[in-house]
Copies of this chain bind each other. A is one copy, B any other.
Amino acid sequence: MTQAPPDSETRARLIAAGLRLFGQTGYDGTSTRALAAEAGTNVASISYHFGSKAGLRQACARDVAARVTGAIVADLPAPPSTPEAAQALLEQVGRSFVAFIVTSPDARDIVAFLVREIMTPGEVADLVYSEFLEPRHRMVCALWSIATGQPAESERVKLSVFAMIGQALYFRIGQPIISRRMGWQDIGPSEAAQIADTVAAQIRATIESQRR
């Protein structure tokens, strides 16, 4: 990263700017001039590197998929063999997911970008789905299956996992509301831990109620 050629550096800065601004103000709400200014370059660089503003949007999607997948896959051990181990792993996955989502400054932009793309399906959403969301969901379903004994691809398991993702995600989407209602100035380690506890407790309770 220290010796990156000047061309790819501008490219990288544009993707970072796209992630931040698209996430903050939306695709339509972000002008090419604002993108160029945020990246410290000229508007023409967008056309040059990505063909168009839409091309930059797609490049951002690819970057998100690659980055988040890498982060999640990195710290996942071999699949557990006992329900107890699977449950413990699920709780841990939930905790680190929440920790990443509510504390990382990058996560704010990434999640906001993803949610916006998901709400308005298009080819960018398709890319994110097949490249990132579907495989991850499938993986967590497999864990859930080991923990509960339910079939991994059953509707019950798939929906339970979506519910788990949904509650975690909401702590980022609704963060302005949550902070306000909780009386929190901002979300530090202590607040993040409380959220992680809440999510982990729900995972535990739901798994145990399904295990029979």
Contacts and interface: CB of A to CB of B under 8 A. Distances in A.
Interface string A113-134: 0011011110001000100011
A177 B129 contact: yes
9 contacts: A26-B29, A112-B119, A118-B176, A118-B177, A129-B177, A134-B180, A163-B199, A206-B206, A208-B209
A125, A171, A173, A210: most-surrounded residue (chain B CB, <10 A)? A173
Interface string A193-212: 01100110110111011100
A1 interface: no
Interface string A149-184: 000000110111011111111110110111011100
B162 A202 contact: no
A45 to B, nearest CB: 23
| Count of chain copies | 2
A127 to B, nearest CB: 13
Contact of A169 (B168, B170, B182): B170
B194 A201 contact: no
A13 interface: no
Interface residues of A, number: 53
A24 interface: yes
A25 interface: yes
A162 B201 CA distance: 14
Given A118-B176, A173-B118, A164 B167 contact: yes
Given A119-B115, A129-B177, A204-B209, A182 B167 contact: no
A137 interface: yes
Interface string A16-27: 000000001111
A125 B158 contact: no
Given A25-B120, A202-B206, A205-B205, A166 B177 contact: no
